[in-house]
């Protein structure tokens, strides 16, 4: 990020893929690097004071926990605060208005935000709201009819899908709040972008993101319309506070990533850039659908799907079904030019938007975490069975894939219904749940007690035993499997998938392909170089197509 005087650029670099970042500062006038070097930095923000920035450093378990103030050219930084609760992670940022610095401590279920004027980084920090159980909130700064205000997205008092309120900066207590958008059980407010004359809310309705634009002066709102049955919308940086344009990125399983400027006053869209797809890509050759499966408890589970228009619906087509279902993160419905190599060979691609993710809001997440985690797996199985019943595929040509917590999903369903699948691809999979969650020295473990549970608590331990992929391995006929890990992974240590494969090899009765691939130069996200990443994905697709006998 660039300093207010535009003289310096602050940036961080990770050299190994372990997600351990070093802070550098570049002098933009001379092109030289400043002597300042700070290790293990997670987030950074410039103050409005020349040469003064704030950053957050990590502890031995990679938890961001200390907030520092640094003046360029000095070696002794000022410690502003330290987050002692290991469930919480600290980060710092600057409001779009550039007026305020914010520092937030967050766990998976609660938050606490403090603030100080950007021009007074050495000043006293005030707290918007003290942390409390099951209350998450975000804060941004703007203006309102009452003057200088904070906009707060809050899910306190049981309003799990959040509501939006506005409150005076001088006194942000709840009794001064003005409600702008009420809580709704079926629509989640995911994000809010505040500008000088309007604000934009991202609202997830039945798994799809809608953009609501609200004029601050009049309070009138309208939605930006999107044409496809399933798609993905993400905001771009939108650094300018006093702008009537809103920049966002739109894509779908059929439409390549496209950057638009939306004029919030004229309500017009301007396409700025669309990712080029080489090789004569013809979108009209494919069909995209949004369908629903029914879980064992009656819950409707969305599925996003793309298939060649010529693909038959008689069970003869191969299909790749992907899933994740954790941390309240929705599975993105994104375009992939690489995926065309599967589609061109007649392979349908589908996404199971299972519980545990955030696809249908906070309650969707709640229904697939902790002691409700098995819903994630039964949802995925229900999606697979629905696609088979519709004739989109058959069990002997169904491929499943997932990474990280999605690898846990795949590992769990393979133990529950191995006969339902032909091939499984597991990338950096979290498969040894109990042992990993017992080791509090590992990155993520303590903070994720609120996602998976703490196996030192008997009820949590007994529940984890019912689904942990490693614990439940047995001598059964598993499908062909490709398991991938990375030496420098900081989220799922490389030995976890290796241990899983080693045990599985002692149990597999008929010698179906079981491959372990360890990338020696990458971290949790796999190879970072463009061509290295393409080669890595090509390896996965080659394995899948070979097992399906669709190589030509």
Cβ neighbours for 52, distance < 8 A, ≥ 6 positions apart: 46, 69, 70, 71, 72, 121
> What are the tens digits of pLDDT across the range 177-221?
999 999 999 999 999 999 999 999 999 999 999 999 999 999 999
Cα separation of 487 and 16, whole Å?
A: 9
Active site residues: 404, 489, 524
Cα–Cα distances (Å) from 73 to 21, 300, 420, in that order, read 20, 58, 62
pLDDT band at 529; cut points 50, 70, 90: confident
pLDDT band at 508; cut points 50, 70, 90: confident
Give backbone dihedrals phi and psi of 362, rounded to 5 degrees, phi first. Answer: -65, -35
User: pTM for this structure?
Assistant: 0.96
Determine the average pLDDT of the residues in 358-385: 98
Residue-range domains of the chain with CATH: 1-135 (2.130.10.120), 283-548 (3.40.50.1820)
The secondary structure element, H or E, covering residue 436 is: helix 433-438
Give the highest mean pLDDT range of 137-141, 146-150, 546-550.
137-141
Alpha helices by DSSP H, 233-373: 340-343, 362-366
Helix (H, G, I), strand (E, B) or coil at 43: strand
> What are the tens digits of pLDDT across the range 78-128?
999 999 999 999 999 999 999 999 999 999 999 999 999 999 999 999 999
Cα separation of 69 and 84, whole Å?
A: 18
pLDDT > 90: what percent of the chain?
96
pLDDT band at 144; cut points 50, 70, 90: confident
Residue 286 CB: number of other CB atoms within 10 A?
19
> What are the tens digits of pLDDT across the range 314-359?
999 999 999 999 999 999 999 999 999 999 999 999 999 999 999 9
> What are the tens digits of pLDDT across the range 34-89?
999 999 999 999 999 999 999 999 999 999 999 999 999 998 999 999 999 999 99
At residue 278, the pLDDT reads 93
pLDDT band at 551; cut points 50, 70, 90: low
At residue 530, the pLDDT reads 86
> What are the tens digits of pLDDT across the range 394-430?
999 999 999 999 999 999 999 999 999 999 999 999 9
> What are the tens digits of pLDDT across the range 237-257?
999 999 999 999 999 999 999
Cα separation of 263 and 282, whole Å?
A: 29
């Amino acid at each position: 990020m660039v300093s207010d005087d535009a003289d310096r650029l602050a940036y961080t670099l990770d050299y190994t893929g372990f997600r351990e970042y070093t802070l550098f500062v570049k002098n933009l006038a001379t092109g030289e690097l400043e002597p300042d070097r700070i290790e293990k930095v997670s987030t950074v923000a410039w103050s409005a004071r020349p040469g003064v920035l704030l950053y957050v450093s990590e502890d031995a378990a990679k938890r961001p926990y200390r907030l520092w103030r640094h003046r360029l050219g000095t070696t002794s930084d000022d410690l502003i605060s330290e987050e002692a609760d290991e469930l919480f992670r600290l980060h710092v940022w600057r409001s779009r208005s550039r007026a305020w610095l914010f520092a937030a401590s967050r766990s998976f279920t609660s938050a606490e935000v403090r603030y100080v004027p950007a021009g007074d980084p050495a000043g006293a920090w005030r707290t918007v709201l003290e942390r409390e159980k099951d209350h998450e909130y975000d804060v941004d700064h703007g203006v309102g009819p009452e003057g200088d205000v904070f906009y707060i997205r809050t899910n306190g008092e049981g309003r799990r899908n959040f509501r939006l309120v506005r409150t005076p900066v001088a006194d942000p207590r709840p009794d001064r709040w003005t409600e702008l958008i009420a809580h709704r059980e079926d629509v989640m407010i995911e994000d809010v972008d505040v500008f000088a004359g309007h604000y934009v809310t991202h609202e997830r309705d039945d798994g799809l993101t809608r953009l609501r634009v609200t004029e601050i002066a009049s309070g009138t709102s309208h939605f930006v319309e999107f044409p496809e049955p399933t798609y993905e919308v993400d905001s771009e940086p939108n650094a300018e506070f006093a702008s009537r344009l809103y920049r966002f990125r739109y894509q779908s399983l059929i439409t390549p990533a496209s950057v638009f400027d939306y004029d919030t006053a004229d309500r017009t869209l301007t396409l700025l850039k669309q990712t080029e797809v080489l090789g004569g890509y013809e979108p009209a050759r494919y069909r995209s659908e949004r369908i629903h499966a029914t879980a064992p408890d009656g819950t409707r589970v969305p599925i996003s799907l793309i298939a060649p228009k010529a693909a038959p619906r008689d069970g003869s087509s191969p299909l790749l079904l992907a899933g994740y279902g954790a941390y309240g993160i929705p599975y993105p419905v994104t375009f992939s030019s690489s995926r065309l190599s599967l589609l061109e060979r007649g392979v349908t691609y589908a996404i199971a938007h299972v519980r545990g993710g955030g696809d249908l809001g906070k309650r969707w997440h709640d229904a697939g975490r902790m002691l409700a985690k098995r819903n994630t797996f039964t949802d995925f199985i229900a999606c697979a069975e629905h696609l088979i019943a519709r004739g989109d595929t058959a069990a002997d040509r169904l491929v499943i894939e997932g990474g990280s917590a999605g690898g846990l999903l795949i590992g769990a369903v393979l133990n529950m219904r191995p006969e339902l699948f032909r091939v499984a691809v597991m990338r950096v999979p979290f498969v040894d749940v109990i042992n990993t969650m017992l080791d509090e020295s590992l990155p993520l473990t303590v903070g994720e007690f609120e996602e998976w549970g703490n196996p030192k608590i008997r009820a949590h331990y007994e529940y984890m035993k019912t689904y942990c992929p490693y614990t439940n391995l047995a001598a059964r006929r598993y499908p062909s499997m490709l398991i991938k890990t990375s030496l420098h992974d900081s989220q799922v240590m490389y030995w976890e998938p290796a241990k899983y494969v080693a045990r599985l090899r002692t149990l597999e009765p008929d010698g179906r392909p079981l491959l372990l691939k360890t990338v020696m130069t990458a971290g949790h996200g796999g190879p970072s170089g463009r061509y290295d990443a393409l080669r890595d994905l090509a390896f996965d697709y080659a394995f899948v197509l070979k097992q399906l006998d669709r190589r030509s």
